Amino acid sequence: MKEQTLALIKPCAIAKHYQGLIIHDILEAGFEIKAMKMLHLTTEEARAFYVVHKEKDFYEPLIKFMTSGSIIALILEKQNAIADYRQLMGKTDPKSALEGTLRKKYAVNTRHNAVHGSDSLENAKKEIAFFF
């Protein structure tokens, strides 16, 4: 059975014009793009999306970063979409991400890590509903 996951292309990747390369890599990995839109998060929207991190020290810098430019939100679909997309993204720190992963290829550092993907089926449903 196919499942869906949310993917975000973050402002740092868009500023470097990597969005086309990232989308190409996603398609090459066998994902179907079911929906896609570009938007600029407001501070309120970013705070709502990342509320789970509210008490963490990186919360405010994350909000500032995610509102610093446009993002692209995508609904991706395939068998095992969540696990497969997380594997395609690679580890949060691009220095320790495997060769060929999105973060190894396009991320700058742990905060400016190019992409986001849902970490569970429950969160995928919530995150997709947030953007679509």
Exactly one of 24, 40, 53, 116 is catalytic; which is it?
A: 116
Q: Which amino acid is at 15?
A: A
Question: Alpha carbon of 51 to those of 47, 60, 83, 91: distances in Å?
Answer: 6, 11, 23, 22
E strands of the chain, at which residues? 2-9, 32-39, 71-79, 115-117
Q: Does 116 participate in catalysis according to the annotation?
A: yes
Look-up of token digits 């989308």: 23
The set of catalytic residues is 116
